[in-house]
Structure 1
Amino acid sequence: MKILMLVSSMHAGGAERVAATLVNAWAERGDAVTLTPTYSSKGTCFYPLSDKVELAWLADLSGTRASGAMAAFKRLLTLRRYIRDTRPDVIVSFLTNVNVAAILATRGLGIPLIVCERTNPVAETTTGTVWRKLRRLLYPRADMVTVQAEDTAGPFSRQVPGIKRLAVIPNPLPAPLLDAPRVRQREDGPRELLAMGRLVTDKQFDLLIDVFARLAPDFPDWNLRIWGEGPERAALEQQVARLGLQSRVSLPGRTEAPWDELARGQAFVLSSLVEGFPNVLLEAMSLGLPCVAFDCPSGPREMTRDGEDALLVPAGNRDALRDALARLMGDVALREQLGLRGAAAVRQRYALASVLAEWDELFEAVREGR
């Protein structure tokens, strides 16, 4: 099968990581796969790709990365010509702005298109009014729309009425994580509580730092390490300094080896206000890290069983987060138990082969017009 995957860029990010996982898997099994970043130019691919994946950079094909209506229109025309000339069997696009462009570029070409929302489109606040209106207007023209969690599907179908087919498909665990060694808990010595994500307000790392400040005196052998980069760095660094936690809280930036860094931790915390599908929580659980997560929309509730393979706390509740972290940080047996059960659960449910089978069902449905 000839598959075209469209993404905005291949910089570091959850959507980009999933795109790389999928195109690599499709190419390795024998599909003819092309990955087309629609904005970034050649040489900006953060995640490793199989040599069997063809890369076509739209910015290079169109000769522009400029912003503005004329540049966007030029890239749209270039994308349409590229699709018309290459005639893929199916197109998959990620993220609202790319989805809108894909719908416009494929109109009248008769090529099945699956557009995928990569955040929670109902709860998130970063998509502007214009994009929301375009989504409502154009998504009904796509052959299939996907979201990542069951609790998103109903509200989104009401937000964007007229969608032909709406499917829920989770993110896959990258294949190396299925066989990765599981984190072992230390009885004593320094321990790290880990968080990971873009340093943006929706991740609520400021809240997490405040909660850790309340825990720090009682857990002198625990430190908090927050991996990631983003516009909130300066504010978070100032907060850490104001609280006098420079020796206990670190923000080392972006890492090209996130799984290695997760494997060095003793516990993981997700403090987000909203998620589409928290890849990092899935990956932390798969490595056997005991996890505490806010019950935010969407993903954590579907991914975990509170008290069995993770600790789930009411979204935004600082006291509940503090209590859950104190419980976890103070009980090595609980950490070992949650880590063991969590790894087993997600390695089974989100195995790459299982998720690829779900994608194959979508491909068959849109190609047959079902």
Structure 2
Amino acid sequence: MKVTFLMPSAYGMRGDVRATLNLAAALAERQDVEIISVKRTRDTPFFPVDGRVRLRYLVDARPGRHLLPRGQVRTEVALWRALRALRADVLVTARPGLSVQSARYAPREVVRIAREWTRPAIPGPVRRYYPRLDAVVTNTENGREEWSRLLDDDLSVHTIPDALPAGPWPRSRMDNRIISAGGRWVAPKAFDRLIRAFAVVADKRPDWRLRLYGSGSEEKRLRALVAELSLHNHVYFMGTTPDLPGEFAKASIVAVPSRDEVLGMTVVEALGCGVPVVGFDGPRGLSDFVRPGRDSVLVQQGEGETEAYAGALLALVDDERRRRTLASGALETAAAHAGPAVAARWQELMYGLRSRV
């Protein structure tokens, strides 16, 4: 069976890119897999692409190579041509905009699946065109319920978790006095409240360090906050890395301070390294990915949240036995995200849908 993934760009540093590349690699064990990246935004993909997976792009959008102002028209034409000429058994699209185009232009004999992580900003085209698709797949049960309501049960919606990269996964020894956090440094990720909470930890346990991995528009403000709180010897900006699990394996706690966490790849990668997670609870938060009290600690958002978060971090810092117990639970949770297990669920769905064509 030939499986094609269609993505806006396979070259970026995003959780959905990482999840799609992991899934493609897992499926490539038994299937013929290719990835079509609508745009090529850099010379090489930020995350490694499995050698068994073919990667091609439609438009070269690297700096200095994309011709404007006709660039958007050029992209739309290239996408339309690629969909009309597609020769595959299954097409999996990784954003609502691409899924709408798949519903409109991909050959009807191709099984078309929309892989969704977030609710669309403009639901009108989704309600109009998604019934032409064969299925929607979300990464959480809450996501499945949300999409089922949006589509009024006009299309089957399934839940399959995101896959971890192929094992063996790096394993934390849980003996480093390091708290790590990773992701895009943007306002919704709320790294500022993590830094403020860690100031309490650093004051009481000055031998612990906070490592921040990533990049983004908030970097200047976050660095200024570190200077303001005199944390320059305690908080380190580590930059970006394609091997975040390898870095998490050096930590004893992974902090996830975001206000919403709909992708969850950072969380899953931390669990896969056997590192307990400390985050915030909420309707679209970490509870979709973790088992509080067994692999993680969740704090309620709202009044006094920073102090509560600092308290949760400090409690784990001071209790090595509990950290190790949560670490064991983290590995159990992560097992459901192992590539072969996730690929098997996708294959069952794909073959079932193919039998109806």
**Cross-structure match for 2:295:** 309
What percentage of residue pairs aligned between the two structures are identical? 31
Residue type at the aligned position of 2:35: L
In 2, the alpha carbon distance for the partners of 1:52 and 1:369 equals 28
Identify the range of structure 1 (298-307 vs 269-278) with the bigger mean alpha-carbon deviation.
298-307
Q: Cα 1:258–1:352, aligned 2, differ >3 Å: closer, same or farther?
A: same
In 2, the alpha carbon distance for the partners of 1:313 and 1:212 equals 15
**Cross-structure match for 2:171:** 182
Q: Out of 219, 232, 236, which is 1:250 matched to? A: 236
In 2, the alpha carbon distance for the partners of 1:366 and 1:355 equals 17
1:287-312: CA deviation from partner (whole Å, max 9, x where unpaired) = 11122121234462243222222212
1:132-165: CA deviation from partner (whole Å, max 9, x where unpaired) = 4333333233211121111122233223435411
1:143 and 2:129 correspond = no
In 2, the alpha carbon distance for the partners of 1:114 and 1:146 equals 7
In 2, the alpha carbon distance for the partners of 1:71 and 1:271 equals 37
Preserved CA contact (<8 Å) 2:111 2:353:
yes
In 1, the alpha carbon distance for the partners of 2:225 and 2:238 equals 15
Preserved CA contact (<8 Å) 2:83 2:102:
no
Q: Cα 1:72–1:145, aligned 2, differ >3 Å: closer, same or farther?
A: farther
Residue type at the aligned position of 2:23: L
Preserved CA contact (<8 Å) 2:147 2:157:
no
**Cross-structure match for 2:322:** 334
Q: Trace 1:217-236 onto structure 2 (pairs within 5 A).
A: 217-236=203-222
Identify the range of structure 1 (166-175 vs 51-60) with the bigger mean alpha-carbon deviation.
51-60
Following TM superposition, by how much is the alpha carbon of 1:282 offset from its aligned partner in structure 2, in angstroms? 1.1
**Cross-structure match for 1:161:** 152
Q: Cα 1:95–1:247, aligned 2, differ >3 Å: closer, same or farther?
A: same
Preserved CA contact (<8 Å) 1:76 1:105:
no
Identify the range of structure 1 (77-86 vs 301-310) with the bigger mean alpha-carbon deviation.
77-86
Structure 2, unaligned runs of 5 or more: none
1:50-72: CA deviation from partner (whole Å, max 9, x where unpaired) = 332222211049xx84577x644
In 2, the alpha carbon distance for the partners of 1:67 and 1:18 equals 31
1:210-243: CA deviation from partner (whole Å, max 9, x where unpaired) = 1112222111111111111111111111111111
Q: Cα 1:161–1:293, aligned 2, differ >3 Å: closer, same or farther?
A: same
- Report which of the two has the higher share of strand: 2
SS of the equivalent of 2:28 reads helix
Give the TM-score, by structure 1 length: 0.87
**Cross-structure match for 2:187:** 201
Identify the range of structure 1 (285-294 vs 153-162) with the bigger mean alpha-carbon deviation.
153-162
1:285 and 2:271 correspond = yes
Q: Trace 1:1-370 onto structure 2 (pairs within 5 A).
A: 1-10=1-10, 11-29=12-30, 31-41=31-41, 43-60=43-60, 65=66, 71-106=71-106, 109-118=108-117, 120-121=118-119, 128=121, 131-161=122-152, 163-176=154-167, 179-186=168-175, 191-298=177-284, 300-315=286-301, 317-347=305-335, 349-369=336-356
Following TM superposition, by how much is the alpha carbon of 1:196 offset from its aligned partner in structure 2, in angstroms? 0.5
Q: Cα 1:98–1:224, aligned 2, differ >3 Å: closer, same or farther?
A: same
1:321-346: CA deviation from partner (whole Å, max 9, x where unpaired) = 22211110111111111112211332
SS of the equivalent of 2:184 reads coil
Q: Cα 1:13–1:354, aligned 2, differ >3 Å: closer, same or farther?
A: same
Residue type at the aligned position of 1:329: V
Preserved CA contact (<8 Å) 2:172 2:274:
yes
Following TM superposition, by how much is the alpha carbon of 1:96 offset from its aligned partner in structure 2, in angstroms? 2.5
In 2, the alpha carbon distance for the partners of 1:245 and 1:41 equals 35
Q: How many residue pairs end up in the alignment?
A: 351
In 2, the alpha carbon distance for the partners of 1:145 and 1:83 equals 18
Q: Cα 1:66–1:165, aligned 2, differ >3 Å: closer, same or farther?
A: farther
1:162-189: CA deviation from partner (whole Å, max 9, x where unpaired) = 541111111012222xx33531232xxx
In 2, the alpha carbon distance for the partners of 1:138 and 1:67 equals 29
In 2, the alpha carbon distance for the partners of 1:365 and 1:94 equals 20
Give the TM-score, by structure 2 length: 0.90
In 1, the alpha carbon distance for the partners of 2:56 and 2:170 equals 36
Preserved CA contact (<8 Å) 1:226 1:251:
yes
In 2, the alpha carbon distance for the partners of 1:134 and 1:22 equals 27
1:105-142: CA deviation from partner (whole Å, max 9, x where unpaired) = 32x64322101112x32xxxxx65xx443333332332
In 2, the alpha carbon distance for the partners of 1:105 and 1:75 equals 15
In 1, the alpha carbon distance for the partners of 2:83 and 2:350 equals 17
Residue type at the aligned position of 1:334: R
Preserved CA contact (<8 Å) 1:149 1:299:
no
